[in-house]
Amino acid sequence: MLLLLVNVLVGFHTHSYSIMFSALMALTICTYLYDVEHSKINMQLIDTIVLVSLLFPIGFLWFQHGHPTRVYAGLIILWAFGLYIANKLYGVQHAVSVLTDPLKKGVPILTGPSNFAGAILNYLASFGHIVFNIEWALLVLL
C-alpha cells in the first residue's frame, strides 16, 4: 500500500497522470479487497493488481521515449520476468543442481555453497524482486 501511495505522489509531482491514476485505482481496489472480508484475503490477486498498476504506466511511457531508454527498461523487465518464469518452470533446486554440479566435481570445496546459491536464486525469482525491477523500469522511463 505504501508503494502505491508513493507512486501517487511521484505521479503528481512529475505530472505523469498515468502513474498517479493507475496507483490510485490499484490503491482503491486493494483497500476494498482487504476490507471486504478479513478471513478470505486473496493476496495473490492483490499482488497481481499491484503488478498491473505498475505495468500500465510503463505501456504509456514506453512510446514517449527514445530507443536506448526503451531497450534499457525492456531488459530490466525481461530480467525480472525471465527469472520468475524460469523458477516456476524448472524450480530453484533443479537450476542450482545444473549450475553447481560441474563445480562440485571440479572443486570439492564448493559442495557447501549450493544452499547459498539456492537462496540467491529464490530471492531473484521472488515476487518482491519482480516488483522492485518493474519499479526500476518505471523509474528509467520516467
Phi, psi for 48 (deg, rounded to 5): -65, -40
Give the pLDDT confidence score for residue 17 in this predicted structure: 86
Q: Quote the cell numbers at residue 97.
A: 543442481
Tens digit of each residue's pLDDT (9 = 90 or more) over 7-57: 898 889 988 888 899 999 999 998 888 888 777 788 888 888 888 888 888
- What would the mean pLDDT of 102-118 be, rounded to a whole number? 54
55-64 contact pairs (CB < 8 A, 24+): 55/134, 56/18, 56/22, 57/11, 57/16, 57/18, 57/19, 57/22, 57/138, 58/134, 58/137, 58/138, 58/141, 60/18, 61/16, 61/18, 61/138, 61/141, 61/142, 62/141, 64/141
DSSP reduced 3-state for 71: helix
- What would the mean pLDDT of 101-112 be, rounded to a whole number? 52
Q: Quote the cell numbers at residue 28.
A: 482503491
Task: Inform me whether the pLDDT recorded for 130 exceeds 60.
Answer: yes
For residue 40, the Cα-to-chain-centroid distance in whole angstroms is 24
In this prediction the pTM is 0.69
Tens digit of each residue's pLDDT (9 = 90 or more) over 74-104: 888 888 888 777 777 765 555 555 555 555 5
Give the pLDDT confidence score for residue 24 in this predicted structure: 93
Residue 46 in contact with residue 34, Cβ under 8 Å?
Answer: yes
Question: Which of residues 126 and 116 earns the better pLDDT score?
Answer: 126
Residue 8 in contact with residue 54, Cβ under 8 Å?
Answer: no
State the pLDDT confidence band at 64, using cuts at 50, 70 and 90: confident
